[in-house]
Amino acid sequence: QVLKKHNFGAGPCILPGSVLQQAANAVVNWNDSGLSILEVSHRSPEFESVVLKTQLLIRELLNVPQSYEVLFLQGGASTQFSMVAMNFLQGRACGAYLDTGYFAQKAIKEAKLFGKVAIVASSEDKDYSYIPDHFETPSDAAFLHCTSNNTIEGTEMFSFPETSAPLICDMSSDIFSRTINVRDFDLIYAGAQKNMGPAGMTLVIAKNEFLNSVKHALPSMSDYRVYRDNQSMFNTPPVFSIYVSMLNLLWLREQGGVTGIQLKNHKKSELLYEEIDRNPLFYGTAMPAHRSKMNITFKMHDPSMEAEFLRFAAGHGVVGIKGYRTVGGFRASLYNALPLSSVEFLVQVMQHFEKEKT
């Protein structure tokens, strides 16, 4: 395989080469069926078994209890911002939100369309460089919403709030990167396009009891119960995204599952943070205790050098490290499929640049 660049993109992001190859084969001739995966009926027994297998893999990899549903939706994590509120906030006193950055704020904005929002804590005072703790959830909150990994700001929650309110978590950018205890949550959602597969499907893992607490009528496509009651096939699901996610989750299982990949992810992020802390040209933007292992954010002491470093890195085949437009600097995303060798390479590029400049 002739691939390719060192892809540090934040999402859609790098997928394993073997998965891309299998996906490419399936586009032309899926399992020797004489049909492309793109032209089979989603109601065919072959594709129904893909859905089932993907759900089972997710249950296995994340240790999902039987009392939870595994659902495939569409519309990205952004649709979940409003869907969560339509289902669980409407008609209730308030929804509690932990404001840890750009995507948390987007969730808050959408929720306000459907009811009262209580922001229990915010790290906006320090540019979202940390995860607040020590906060109280209002006793009448219908849920507490948090974001496990802040993709843009480069912070990650390494512990989750203990609260009597149902806990809802946006895990878009760190699901499958580390072990979690699904029982700590009532609903988890994530867009596929980081550690799961290609953009298109949105994963929801929800406690059945929590879904049953919804009593009001909702548009079908915004009603979790409809997805549950129709095996995620109420309408045409994102067939290709689900299929490639299945391939990618099989790959993850071969890596030793989530515990296996977690060790590798730890090593990768340690290596890069070490260099950021050592190299006199750079500094990390997130507070050390809250540094994400998925999205490593950093800047240069001399911002006028940043464009040059980007060009220098690109010249060496390092792509996707430009920081999000609102925060600037750099962001290297170290998702599951990114090999350690790419991180080692980026470190060398940073050292090389340092030599040229000092």
The residues that touch ligand PMP, with contacts defined as CB under 6 A, are 11, 76-78, 103, 147, 151, 170, 172-173, 191
Any known ligand binding at 137? no
The nearest distance, CB 1 to ligand PMP, in angstroms, is 27
Q: For residues 170 and 275, which CB has a smaller minimum distance to ligand PMP in the complex? A: 170
Amino acid at 347: V
The DSSP code for 291 is: B
> 87 labelled as ligand-binding?
no
- Nearer to ligand PMP by Cβ, of 55 and 105: the residue is 105
Q: Is 160 annotated as a binding residue?
A: no
In the numeric block, the tokens 């998925």 are attached to: 294
Cβ closer to ligand PMP: 106 or 357? 106
Q: Is 193 labelled a binding residue?
A: yes
Question: Does the annotation list 235 as a binding residue?
Answer: yes
Backbone dihedral angles phi then psi of residue 71, each to the nearest 5 degrees: -120, 145
Determine the residue with CB nearest ligand PMP: 76
Q: Smallest distance from the beta carbon of 339 to ligand PMP, in angstroms?
A: 22
Distances (CA, A) of 19 to 15, 167, 195, 247, 314: 7, 33, 12, 6, 25
C-beta of 9 vs 284, nearer to ligand PMP: 9
CB of 67 to ligand PMP, least distance (A): 25
Question: Is 77 labeled as ligand-binding?
Answer: yes
The whole-angstrom separation of Cα 166 and Cα 204 is 15
Q: Which residue lies nearer to ligand PMP by CB, 73 or 281?
A: 73
* Residue pointed to by tokens 């109601």: 43
Q: Is 171:148 a contact under the CB 8 Å cutoff? A: yes
Joined tokens for residue 191: 């867009």
What's 304's DSSP letter? G
271 vs 279: CA distance, rounded Å: 12
The answer to whether the beta carbons of residues 211 and 166 sit under 8 Å apart is no
Annotated binding-site positions: 43, 77-78, 103, 151, 170, 193, 235-236
Annotated binding-site positions for pyridoxal 5'-phosphate: 77-78, 103, 151, 170, 193, 235-236
Annotated binding-site positions for L-glutamate: 43
